[in-house]
Structure 1
Amino acid sequence: MKKLVNKALATAVLASVLAGCASEEDSIVMSPVPKVENSFNTKSLWSTSVGDGVGTYFSKLKPLYSYEKVFVASRDGVVKALAPEKGDVIWKVELDQEGPARLSGGIASGYGQIFIGSENGIIYALDEQTGKINWQTKVKGEVLAAPTTDSNRVIIHSSNGLLMALDEASGELQWTINTDVPNLTLRGSSQPVTESGGVFWGTSNGRLAAAIVEQGQLIWQQPVGTAQGATEIDRLVDVDASPIILGSTLYIVGYNGHLIALDLRTGKQIWKRSYSSATDMVSDGSRLYLVTDKDHIVAVDARSGTELWKNSLLEYRLVTAPSLINDKIVVGDSEGYLYWLDRGTGEFTAKQNVDSSGFAVGPIAVPDGFIVTTRNGKVKKLTIND
């Protein structure tokens, strides 16, 4: 069924539109659910729930498979560790002792712990075996991206442009790097990635930054996009996607910017292509797969930047970042459909209607299947039934 959907919802520029910056001309039509002839179906192995999920909020609480457990969380502060085989609850905690937890910063693991951030600016460290809160630290700004762990540090990127390193054992602040934040930005932050003693992340002012993990020393910054246009929305250049590293090459994409490949050590540009996206990419080692700001799904050759295929049949369906499951590209949409695409051609191979509340994040792979979480808090393990 066709729906009128504001373009800003598709790109997370909610504040500006709801404040009255948009008109009828800004509204666009969501593509209808495409007809797909399934080459396979999925089978549900188990189903459970985690709190009330994320509802209609921005929170992108992607589940995590680590320590042979599935970790899930809800915006209202419920965190669970589940056994991947049958979905049994190993432990459960509620992080709402002083009001709504507003969890939003994804889940990361390391050093026998899991880490999760919130819009309240609190980072929690939980024991992976028991769920016991080892420490919690208040930082400046909202934490909208998952933390990253490296060199006995938990690295946090907050909404006010700060990259911070906390001691993994105590939560004490080790160092801070400050980057400029424009007056108007998208609702999101880039999750940092680490490699060979360096940390790399996208900034709200349209750059990719690199620093040394140990000292927090900024090494270089490279522009991903340049502000252009007459309005503040037109001039948004946020880099909210997480970088991808393949060998000695780093890849990053920005909103109203470009998809670029950089030399990991020097930051020198290798190639640049015109794509606009605010969501994470995925790679199979030779190709990059991304979802554009129009919800077109694109495959690009990692060595040359050549576009290999594009599927535009999900335009403005509020598609999740892509996942790679069973050698296939998978995305979810706002109406609860999962779409499976052939990696080589971009053609649909299957479609399932999972839950009408929709998806905020895509599925993750686990042994013998994959995990999906819906906006209303349902957690399901599915498997492909050929």
Structure 2
Amino acid sequence: MKKMLNKALTTVAVIGVLAGCASEEDTIIMAPVPQVDSEFTTSSVWSSSVGNGVEQYFSKLSPQYAYGKVFVASRNGEVKALDPENGKALWAIDLEEDTSARLSGGIAAAYDKLFIGSENGEIIALNQETGELLWRTPVQGEVLSTPATDENLVMAHTSEGLLIALDQQSGVQKWAISTEVPTLTLRGTSAPVAVSGGVFWGTANGRLAAAIVQRGQLIWQQPIGTPKGATEIDRIVDVDASPMLMGSTLYVVGYNGQLTAIDLRSGQPAWKRTYSSATDIANDGSRVFLVTEKDHLVAVDARSGTELWTNKQLEHRLVTAPKVIGDYLVVGDSEGYLYWVDRSSGEFVAMEDEGNGGFAVAPIQLSDGFVITTRNGNVKKLTLSQ
């Protein structure tokens, strides 16, 4: 019965209707495409592809720009390095073996390597220059989020509630920290963030955890959400969003929880505000941006947590995590629309239909443009045209 409930909840989370589980009479209605008088358009510099992308699976494989290359991957195991100037493949590798590689966690770049996790319970290391497979280590649980790197270690958070550290050179496990996983959880795990010898990650039981990287020693846990309600679904308090560091403050948000600012040194909260989200957050140095469980865009003051604006026009459009690109906040939706938002007012500045199966992840910025990847594997470099 427990497995059936987990499977059912996973399906609900993927299609984005979990917010309506409080009542059988609730109806989730996707907001219509907003009418936007675009102040600019985008121009395509080049286009490429990577397998079938992630299709309609949960996998959130964000492209990565590092070592002067754009790295992209598909769920079924294709990984490519693209020249950012012309989009040509510098190398490609297929990690599929007897079954689909089911890549889902990544891409992380460090130590002249790429690190990618999979739903098959693996962490994979590739040579960033050639694409050569260096090692492939099995771990306990699915790796659904991007690994972190520090102190010559690769750290991945698995669906079994484990933060596992592997030696970056050999893939040998060095330590593991276990946290509680409730009976029902959202589909997804918080990507760990490593800084100044510490590693921080959200847990399925509603906490932000901190550990010492070198020893794998848990040092504190801070509640982000407290289970409430009569049913297990009501009591879900997953922290699936990755913590975000700004200065000496960590920001994190939880589902059925709070947006919380935490002092990095003490582990104590500076402020808390009630928002529910399982999506990564962004900042522009003075503001924190988030997408709520209802796909509302919100900006709050980073110092005080005061809400600055809310944009509800994308309600239930299955919006990506927000991304700051140039002067704008950018999100994509499940139908393939890309939205450019004024960071000060929350008003739409431009909108473009990229189609191609919709977006699972936000764009990434380059020095002379930005790269988008769609669910069906299309990869494009775009620039803004006034």
Q: Which TM-score band (shorter chain)?
A: over 0.9
In structure 1, runs of 5+ residues without a counterpart are 1-7
Q: In the alignment, which residue of structure 2 is the partner of 1:4?
A: none
In structure 2, C-alpha distance between the alignment counterparts of 1:115 and 1:88, rounded to whole Å? 22
Q: For residues 182 and 324 of structure 1, what CA distance do their matches in structure 2 show? A: 34
- Unmatched segments (≥5 aa) in structure 2: 1-7
Instruction: Give 2:382's aligned amino acid.
Output: L
Q: Does 1:96 align with 2:96?
A: yes
**Partner of residue 167, structure 2:** 167
Match for residue 183 of structure 1?
A: 183
**Other-structure match for 1:84:** 84
Deviation at 1:28, TM superposition (A): 1.2
CA distance in 2, matches of 1:123, 1:314: 35
2:319 is paired with a residue of what secondary structure?
Answer: coil
Which has the larger displacement, 9-18 or 256-265?
Answer: 9-18
Q: CA–CA distance in 1 between the matches of 2:245 and 2:51?
A: 34
**CA shift for structure 1 position 367:** 2.3
Q: Which residue of 1 aligns with 2:66?
A: 66
How many residue pairs get aligned? The number is 377
Q: CA contact under 8 A between 2:9 and 2:184: conserved in structure 1?
A: no
Counterpart AA for 1:367: S
When residues 361 and 376 of structure 1 are mapped into structure 2, their CA distance, relative to the original with a 3 A threshold, is: same
Query: How far apart, CA to CA, are the structure 1 residues paired with 2:16 and 2:303?
Result: 38
- 2:345 counterpart of 1:345: yes
Task: Check whether the contact 1:39–1:349 (CA below 8 A) recurs between aligned residues.
Answer: yes
1 CA distance for matches of 2:12 and 2:312? Answer: 19
Name the SS for the 1:350 alignment partner: strand
CA distance in 2, matches of 1:13, 1:76: 21
Contact 1:336 1:353 in 2 (8 A): yes
Change (3 A) 1:379 1:17: closer
CA distance in 2, matches of 1:16, 1:299: 22
Q: Distance in 1 between matches of 2:312 and 2:298?
A: 9
Deviations 1:263-314 (A, max 9, x none): 1111111100000000000111111000000000000100000001110000
Distance in 2 separating the partners of 1:81 and 1:87: 9
Partner of 1:362: 362
The alignment's TM-score, normalised by the length of structure 2, stands at: 0.95
- CA distance 1:16–1:285, shift in 2 (3 Å): closer
Indicate the SS of the match to 1:29.
coil
1:32 aligned residue: 32
Partner of 1:288: 288
C-alpha distance in 2 between matches for 1:183 and 1:57:
22
Secondary structure class of the residue paired with 1:187? coil
> Displacement of 1:17 after TM fit?
8.0
Cα deviations by residue, 1:8-62 (Å, 9 ceiling, x for unpaired): 99995359989xx898623311000000000110001111110000111000000
CA distance in 1, matches of 2:364, 2:281: 14
Within 5 A, what are the aligned runs for 1:199-348? 199-348=199-348
**TM-score, normalising length: structure 1:** 0.95
Cα contact 2:14–2:57 (8 A) shared by 1: no
The alpha-carbon distance between structure 1 residues 115 and 366, as it changes in their structure 2 partners (threshold 3 A), is: same
State, as a whole percentage, how many aligned pairs show the same letter.
64
Whether the aligned pair in 1 keeps the contact of 2:44 and 2:383 (CA below 8 Å) is yes
Give the Å deviation of 1:250: 0.9
Check whether the contact 2:105–2:143 (CA below 8 A) recurs between aligned residues. yes
Cα offset for 1:368?
A: 1.0
Aligned to 2:373: 373
Distance 1:344 1:303, change over 3 A: same
Secondary structure of the residue aligned to 1:13 is: helix
On the 8 A contact 1:10/1:316 being kept in 2, the answer is: no
What's the RMSD between the two structures over aligned residues?
1.8
- Tell me, what secondary structure is at the counterpart of 2:25? helix
1:277 touches 1:293 (CA, 8 Å); kept in 2? yes
Aligned equivalent of 1:382: 382
Task: Kindly indicate whether residue 135 of structure 2 is the aligned counterpart of residue 141 of structure 1.
Answer: no
Over 4 Å off, 4+ runs: 8-12, 14-18, 21-24
CA gap of 1:29–1:16, structure 2 versus 1, over 3 A, is closer
